[in-house]
Structure 1
Amino acid sequence: MASSKQPLTPSSAIRHRRRRRCLLGTLAALLALAVVLLVLFLTVLRVRDPTIRLVSTELTGVAPRFALLPAPSLRLNVTLILTVSVHNPNLASFAYADGGHADLSYRGAHVGDAQIGPGAVPSRGDAEARLALTLQADRFLAAGDARQLAEDMEGGALPLDATTRVPGTVVLFGLFHRRAVAYSECRFAFAVAEMRVQSQECTGGTKL
């Protein structure tokens, strides 16, 4: 029985070779693209930790409250405006909506908190955020005895710790979006008489 296969004509053989070359070229281009994306992910897209610095504090209000129950007591709430500077060393910008939160503690006792409003930090740029921090003065005594607080006040500075957590989105070239959480921990001395930050030490990072 004669074979049904027809011998390739010169023109069909040329077309076959062209299709094979086109297929090989496409595969090579896809492989090169995969390598480029891998290198991009390992270098450019690698998220580096932002640096956070407490710039200034401002006393804006004092609100005393007198409670009769369960026992007569005087509670004092103090509102501080904190200005925080954030430097973003990454090529990607960081945008955050409502949901950020900051906690303040004195010698292990929680004494204040603040909500962080929406904002954005540009790529390889800086941005400032203002936080309205409510200090509950009566909680300072919960950290220990009144003598310790008096000694710190007499020394002119209160040792405080601030922890900040800001969920947001990392945006690269306006195309790639990835959820991330920026966080920071700051230990600083707050000068009571001058109402300013005397010294500070902050560390920060980003979790994807």
Structure 2
Amino acid sequence: MTEEVQENSLPRESHRIVIPNEIVSPRSIIKKERLEKRYKLCCACTFLAIFIIGFILVILFLTVFKVKKPKINLTSMKIKGLQGANPFNLAPITNLTAIADVSVKNPNIASFKIKNGTTGIYYEGVQVADSQIPRWNAKAKKTTDINVTMEFMLQKILSVSGLVEDLTAGSIPLNTKTRIKGNVDIIGIIKKTIAVKLDCNFKFLIANQTIQNYKCNSTVKLQI
């Protein structure tokens, strides 16, 4: 009787069954493995996506976003005031004006913004005319024509020794020097300053106002 009373008097806590934390059911193991696989798959997909995006960006920066050199040419020129000039009496020549057309081919995906530029005409090494090129916006993937008007410096052109002979022959050998500076800004990330030098030699035919034996040499530099 005494023993039964003692057993009943034991604390309830002594009858609890405690399962150690180390004991894990097979179902929880499978669930944990699935979560680990999903985590690894997610990391692999993220890494692959970053790699693909980075690869695409590199290709774009090397091709589409790469700043390309514009092409500039002197397409035509007219000189007003030379028609009917008498080689033996140059007094009536009081005003000579040259109108030159310069084409700018912009191969970039952004506009080529011309900030400043100059054009000069040289006759037997003597500069006889010059002009400032106005600010211009050459649109992306297009060819833009710039019209430049230049006033001749009469005293200088009349001082050239071969003027009478050339007027008699009906053609004048001329040289033009064009300097243009501008910039290309691609989506605000890639910015380049472009400096262009264009030197052209040709014969100007007075009668039909055209140029002959046209040869040009251009230099284009990309600057940061």
After TM superposition, the score normalised by the length of structure 1 is 0.68
State the Cα deviation string for residues 131-158 of structure 1 (Å, max 9, x = none).
121221322366xx62x23222222211
Cross-structure match for 1:165: 179
- By how many angstroms is 1:52 displaced? 1.7
- By how many angstroms is 1:123 displaced? 2.9
Aligned length: 185
The residue type paired with residue 139 of structure 2 is P
Corresponding residue to 1:78 among 71, 96, 101: 96
Asked if 1:30 is matched to 2:56, the reply is no
The residue type paired with residue 202 of structure 2 is F
5 Å-filtered alignment, 1:1-208, equals 11=31, 14-44=34-64, 45=66, 47-59=68-80, 78-88=96-106, 90-140=107-157, 146=161, 148-172=162-186, 177-179=190-192, 180-208=194-222
CA contact (8 A) 1:53 1:86 kept: no
- By how many angstroms is 1:130 displaced? 0.8
Aligned equivalents of 1:185, 1:30: Cα separation in 2 = 48
Change beyond 3 A, Cα 1:110–1:197: same
State which structure, 1 or 2, has the greater radius of gyration over its C-alpha atoms.
2
Cross-structure match for 2:19: none
State the Cα deviation string for residues 80-127 of structure 1 (Å, max 9, x = none).
222223333x24243324412112222222222111112222333221
- By how many angstroms is 1:50 displaced? 1.4
SS at match of 2:111: strand
In structure 1, the gaps of 5 or more residues are 1-6, 61-74
- By how many angstroms is 1:14 displaced? 4.4
SS at match of 1:92: coil
- By how many angstroms is 1:188 displaced? 1.9
CA contact (8 A) 2:79 2:96 kept: no
CA contact (8 A) 2:198 2:219 kept: yes
SS at match of 1:154: helix
Say which structure is richer in strand. 1
Aligned equivalents of 1:186, 1:94: Cα separation in 2 = 25
Aligned equivalents of 2:50, 2:58: Cα separation in 1 = 12
The residue type paired with residue 178 of structure 1 is K
Q: CA RMSD in A?
A: 3.5
CA contact (8 A) 2:110 2:139 kept: yes
